[in-house]
Each structure stands twice: as C-alpha cells, then as structure tokens.
Amino acid sequence: MKATAGVLVVLALARGVIAVANVLVLVVIAAVLAIGFEPAVRFLQGRGFRRGWAVASIFLAGTLVVAGFVAVVLPIIVREIADLVREAPGFFRRAQHESDLVRRLPHEVDLSNRLRSLGTQLPATALALVRSVTALVFNSITVAILTIYFMVAMPSLRRGIARMLDRDDREDFESILETSTQRVGGYVLGNIAVSIVAGVVSFIALLVIGIPYAAALAFWVALTDLVPTIGAILGMLAAGLVAAFVGPVELVATLAFFLVYQQIENYVIAPRVMRKAIDMSPAAVIVAVLIGGTLAGVVGALLALPVAAIAKVAVTERYLRDRIDAVDAAEG
C-alpha cells in the first residue's frame, strides 16, 4: 500500500508539473535573468546604491532603452513591412520574368487553389495570431515582474536555501551560487552585446548591398542572434529571402556577408565576449543548444547554455572538486 501510494503521488506530481509547465518555464527564465543581472546589481551597490534602488535603476534603464528603440525603430519596421507586403506581388512578377522555375511555380503547386484555401482559413489564422501576441505580451510582463522580485529578494532567497542545508554543505552551496552568478551574468550581458553588434553590422551591410527593409531585417537578425548557434542562420534566411526578390547579385552578396560574419562572430566576437562566461567546450555548447531546442523550442535553446553552465558548476564543485584537486596535486 505504501509503494502504491508513493507511485500515485509521483504520478500526480508529474501530471501537475506538466499542467503548469508554461508557468515553470517563465519562472526559470526569470530566475536565470535575475542571476544574470546580479553582477550589475552588485556593481551599483558598490557605488552606494541600496539594493532596491539598484534593481530599480537597472529596470528603468532597460525600460528606457526598449522604449527608445521601439519609438525610433518600430515606425520604420511597420512602414517597411507594409511596403514589403504591398510590393511582394511586384517582386514575384519580376522573379517570374527572370526565372523559369518561379514562372512554373503557380502551376506546380496549384497556387490558386492554395490561395483560396488560405483565404477561408484567414479568420482563424488572424484569431490565432492575436492570441499568440496576447500570450507573448502577458508572458513578457510576467517574466519582468518575476525577474524584479527575484533580483530584490536574491539575498533572502540565498539565506533561506542556505538554512535548509547542513553546515558542511553551505560552503559548497555558496561556492556554486557565486560561480554560477558570475557565469550566467557574463552570458546574459555578453549575449545581449553580441546581438547588438550583429544587428548594427547587418544594418550597415544590408544598406551597402542595397537590400530594402534593412531596419526590419537588422532587427530580426539581432533578435534571432540571441539564440546561440542557430540564431544567425535564422537571420540569414530572412535576409536572403528578401534579397532573392532584388536580384541574384544581391542574393549572393547577402549570403556571403552572413556566412563571413557568422564565422567572425563565432571565432572572434563571441569568444572574446564570453571567454570566461560559461567555460564550456564548443561541442558541449552545440549539444546543449540542440537538447534545449528539442525539449522546449526557442526558449529551450535560449536557456540551454546558462542551465548547462549552472549544472556544470554544481557537479564540479559538489562531486568533482576533490578529485580534480587530488589529480592536480599528484601531477604537481
């Protein structure tokens, strides 16, 4: 009876976890962001700010940056996207005139019937889009509120967890938390910096090449570049799609730029920014991103590296540190 009851309790807990999986993901995102911004909070505290004011200053600075960016860039993005939708038929007709493959495309895929089918599905698609945007806004607000709470309450949370541990385990816990804070903080701030660089460089390159809607595409590149490893590919695909309607020369130039920049980012920019952030090999980074993306999509890919870094620190400090020290001493 005890074993049966235990199995039932475990199954009930597993079902509950699955039911609130979305909420747990938001909590994990907020916790990772709070740990990531902890070095910045400590920096302001060292300059005389109280913790509450330090958190408020960081949140206010982030809000002002986002609001300024939206105020400046959003009208451009909306206008360029509207222009893209309006001029898409002209781009398609030009591509039909220049390419036999594109000219045969409507007959090959029965384009007219597919368009009529899409027209009947338009109301449901619009409703689903509204729901998705609403969920995105709600989740973003929830993550922001939870992040602020975790940032303010970090010392008390740290003390509360330490009280539940044995005296011998508290030292390991403090070491794990301190190292994890440094690495996740470096990862969060470094990833943001790398994405900003990618957006700015892409905007300049697209303007030079002569690709329309450069601001919208650069914004998409910066956004997708937050996703490690595969983000640059997503940005390249969007820019390449628009460049394909401009001309073959522009398409080749766009693809060549992104391929070259991706190598520069992977081997020059990112290593310099994140050299000491997560302390993981390239193979481990790729495997972690693939596993995170498979389990939880884009969110999983975003959280894969900080979660893997924290797990590595915990395993090393808790179980491997004594062995590593003994090996180093023996080799010495």
Residue 6 located in a structural domain: no
| Helices vs. strands in the chain: H and E counts, helices first | 13, 0
How does pLDDT run across 28-77, given as a tens digit for each residue? 888 888 888 888 888 888 888 888 888 888 888 878 877 776 676 677 66
Asked if residue 146 is part of any domain, the answer here is: yes
Q: Is residue 17 part of a domain?
A: no
Mean pLDDT, each 10-residue run in order, the chain (332 residues): 91 88 84 84 87 88 76 69 68 62 54 58 66 79 88 84 76 78 79 85 90 81 76 81 82 89 78 67 73 76 79 78 71 70
Residue 207 lies inside a defined structural domain of this protein: yes
pLDDT recorded at residue 135: 80
- Report the alpha-carbon distance of residue 282 to residue 271 in Å, rounded: 10
Please report, for residues 41, 102, 147, the alpha-carbon distance to residue 45 in angstroms, rounded to integers and kept in the order given.
6, 61, 18
d(C-alpha 248, C-alpha 236), whole Å = 15
Q: Domain range spanning residue 229?
A: 23-326
Whole-angstrom Cα distance, residue 77 to residue 319?
A: 51
pLDDT of residue 7: 92
Query: Looking at residue 222, what is its pLDDT?
Result: 85
Q: What is the per-residue pLDDT for 110? A: 55
Q: How far apart are CA 65 and CA 237, in angstroms?
A: 28
Share of the chain above pLDDT 70, in %: 77
119 falls within a domain:
yes
Q: What angle do CA 221, 225, 227 make, to 5 degrees?
A: 140
Answer whether residue 16 is part of any domain: no
Q: How does pLDDT run across 266-285, given as a tens digit for each residue?
A: 777 776 666 666 777 667 77
**Structural domains of the chain, count:** 1
In a domain, 12, yes or no: no
Residue 321 covered by a domain: yes
Q: Using an 8 Å Cβ cutoff, are 26 and 146 in contact?
A: yes
